[in-house]
Amino acid sequence: MKNLNDAVLEQFFGLMHQFKSHMHQALSSDKFELGPIGAQALGFFDAHPKGTQRDLIRYFGRDKAQVTRLLKQLEERGLIVREVDEDDKRSYRVTLTPAGKSQQAIVHKHKQQIAETMMAGFDAGERATLIALLGRMKSNVESSENGEVSCNS
């Protein structure tokens, strides 16, 4: 018999797979050509106007070279503009262009549709509880990465 942690992980991974699959299908129908990480980057900079490359590296947990390549692609497609940070000349501030905002709006629309499907039948209290529980899980992982949490079964 599976333990509860395995059951939680199985549900979590299954849900993430379904979400990614639905997003890919929805974005393909709109001829969206960026892929999931490009879509996430647009969402990040929509939520964090004038964010930096370093901010995106921390958010994604990916290495600098991967994020640099991604931002270069987004810039070449006219979806973002990178400007040298006035306070730190080694850093770039990233802003969505009108085309980037338009693409982000497409991504957001699909995310909202999928979220409504996923959350059907959940009342406001259940949604708030789920947000709190997922937040605790995320915090546990972040603390673990910093060596702050021990595993207790």
% of residues, the chain, pLDDT over 90:
51
Is the pLDDT score of 151 beyond 70? no
35 torsion bin: left (phi>0), alpha (psi -120 to 50), beta (else): left
Is the pLDDT score of 30 beyond 90? no
Work out the average pLDDT over 94-111: 92
Is the pLDDT score of 148 beyond 70? no
Is the pLDDT score of 48 beyond 80? yes
Is the pLDDT score of 80 beyond 50? yes
Separation between Cα atoms, residue 85 and residue 28, nearest integer Å = 35
Residue 86's pLDDT is 82
Is the pLDDT score of 153 beyond 70? no
Separation between Cα atoms, residue 104 and residue 48, nearest integer Å = 13
Can you give the residue ranges of every domain in the chain? Answer: 25-139
For 94, list phi and psi in degrees, rounded to 5. Answer: -115, 135
Are the C-beta atoms of residues 51 and 45 closer than 8 Å to each other?
Answer: yes
Separation between Cα atoms, residue 67 and residue 145, nearest integer Å = 20
Q: How confident is the model at residue 150 (pLDDT cuts 50, 70, 90)?
A: low
Fold of 25-139: Arc Repressor Mutant, subunit A (1.10.10)
Q: Which residue has the tokens 């499907």?
A: 117
Separation between Cα atoms, residue 55 and residue 53, nearest integer Å = 5
> What's this model's pTM, rounded to 2 decimal places?
0.75
Are the C-beta atoms of residues 102 and 42 closer than 8 Å to each other?
Answer: no
Separation between Cα atoms, residue 150 and residue 153, nearest integer Å = 10
Is the pLDDT score of 51 beyond 60? yes
